[in-house]
């Protein structure tokens, strides 16, 4: 059962349509990345499924259709950085957050350990680095042991060390059983931590697939031979190739699933062409993102 099902959600702000008939499901146990440039509808979508905004049309359901109040108790969220008191300690700030949310009062030490701040529990918030502040914010979202954690741009504004800290924290939380939904425009981070990805542009869902499927579909095989004209002639007749592109003196081949470098080499040998170069080239999630968003 998916933890979240979104059915045909649309949302407009005056003449601007922020979301256009968006549909997808978030599997339990996944790290689900929602990608898109600024203004693509990511934050609007998260705010809608967290009942901060009302959709114009469509619907969503958490945990197979639990009542909203009951479902909300199983969700931790960070849509914007909480207003922590700078002169108070991490532990006392979490106490205020727990009181406001009416959950997790006795959970503060556990979440501080989870986010790697237990040794700094008595330190004032104003002494924390940006990465530590963000980890404390995630700790606040983890009060009460939620099943799902929803994060909007969790690494925004952080330096490389802070980004790495948040990345590792997300991986650890997911291994511990938490389903995590992340909205981000940082493609490299999404590729490193997410199991599934949805790509939005101008409120339209362009792609919704497991990350490994996206990456597998983006693999290319680079080939070269002494006689490039003969190679191109032979390879163009090979079944299972979807694209053949000449680039900087080599041919870049995109294959159907199940066709690999060994199959290409065997086919060429059988047809009298000896390859001088045969290399698997993996494209990034960024290349797929740019391909989709530039085509729209």
CATH of 218-282, picked from 3.30.720.110, 1.10.150.120, 3.30.1330.20, 3.30.70.980, is 3.30.70.980
pLDDT for residue 283 is more than 70: no
- Strands of the sheet with 57-62, listed across from one edge: 16-26, 4-13, 57-62
Query: 4-214 and 218-282 share one CATH topology?
Result: no
Domain ranges of the chain: 4-214, 218-282
Which pLDDT band, with edges at 50, 70 and 90, does 293 fall under? low
Packing angle, helices 130-141 and 160-175, rounded to 10: 20
Return the pLDDT at 232.
93
Q: For residue 290, what pLDDT is reported? A: 66
Confidence of residue 189 (pLDDT cuts 50, 70, 90): confident
In this predicted structure, the answer to whether residue 296 has a pLDDT above a threshold of 60 is no
The residue with tokens 């698997």 is 280
Residue with tokens 């869902």: 205
**Average pLDDT in the chain:** 89
Model pTM score = 0.78
What is the strand order of the sheet 241-247 is part of?
241-247, 250-255, 219-225, 275-282
pLDDT of residue 106: 86
Residues in the chain: 296
Count Cβ atoms below 10 Å from residue 87 Cβ, excluding itself: 10
Tokens of 114: 């989870």
Q: Which pLDDT score, from 0 to 100, does residue 218 have?
A: 58
* Per-residue pLDDT tens over the stretch 55-82: 999 999 999 999 988 999 899 999 877 7
4-214 placed in CATH 3.40.50.300:
yes
Taking CA atoms, 150 is separated from 25, 32, 181, in Å, by 14, 10, 5
Query: Between vectors from CA 44 to CA 42 and to CA 48, what angle results, nearest 5°?
Result: 120
State pLDDT tens for residues 244-272: 888 888 998 888 777 888 999 999 999 99
Sign of CA dihedral 184, 189, 193, 198: positive
Percent of the chain with pLDDT over 70: 93
Lowest mean pLDDT among 105-119, 215-229, 241-255: 215-229
Q: Tell me how far CA of residue 180 lies from CA of 4, 29, 96, 170, 238, in angstroms.
A: 11, 8, 24, 8, 42
* CA distance linking residue 187 with residue 11, whole number of Å: 25
Distance CA 223, CA 212 (A): 24
Instruction: Look at residue 190 in the predicted model and tell me its pLDDT.
Output: 81
127-176 residue pLDDT tens: 999 889 999 999 999 999 999 999 998 888 888 888 888 899 999 999 99
**Rounded distance, CA 260 to CA 112, Å?**
47
């Amino acid at each position: 059962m998916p933890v979240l099902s979104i059915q045909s959600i649309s949302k407009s702000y005056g003449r601007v349509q922020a979301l256009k008939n968006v549909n997808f499901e978030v599997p339990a146990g996944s790290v689900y990345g929602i990608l898109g440039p600024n203004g693509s509808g990511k934050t609007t979508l998260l705010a809608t499924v967290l009942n901060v905004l009302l959709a114009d049309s469509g619907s969503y359901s958490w945990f197979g259709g639990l009542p909203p109040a009951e479902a909300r108790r199983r969700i931790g969220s960070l849509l914007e950085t909480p207003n922590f008191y700078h002169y108070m300690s991490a532990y006392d700030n979490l106490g205020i957050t727990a009181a406001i949310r009416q959950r997790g009062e006795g959970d503060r030490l556990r979440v501080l350990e989870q986010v790697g701040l237990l040794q700094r529990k008595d330190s004032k918030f104003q002494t924390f680095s940006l990465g530590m502040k963000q980890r404390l914010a995630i700790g606040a979202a983890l009060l009460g042991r939620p099943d799902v954690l929803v994060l909007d741009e969790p690494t925004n504004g952080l330096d490389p060390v802070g980004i790495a800290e948040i990345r590792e924290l997300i991986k650890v939380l997911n291994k511990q059983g938490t389903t995590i939904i992340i909205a981000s425009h940082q493609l490299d981070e999404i590729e490193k931590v997410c199991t599934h990805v949805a790509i939005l542009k101008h409120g339209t869902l362009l792609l919704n697939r497991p990350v490994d499927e996206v990456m597998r579909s983006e693999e290319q095989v680079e080939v070269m031979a002494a006689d490039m004209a003969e190679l191109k002639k032979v390879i163009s007749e090979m079944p299972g190739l979807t694209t053949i592109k000449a680039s900087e003196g080599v041919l870049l081949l995109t294959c159907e699933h199940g066709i690999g470098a060994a199959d290409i080499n065997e086919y060429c040998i059988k047809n009298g062409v000896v390859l001088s170069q045969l290399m698997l080239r993996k494209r990034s999630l960024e290349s797929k993102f740019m391909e989709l968003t530039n085509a729209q």
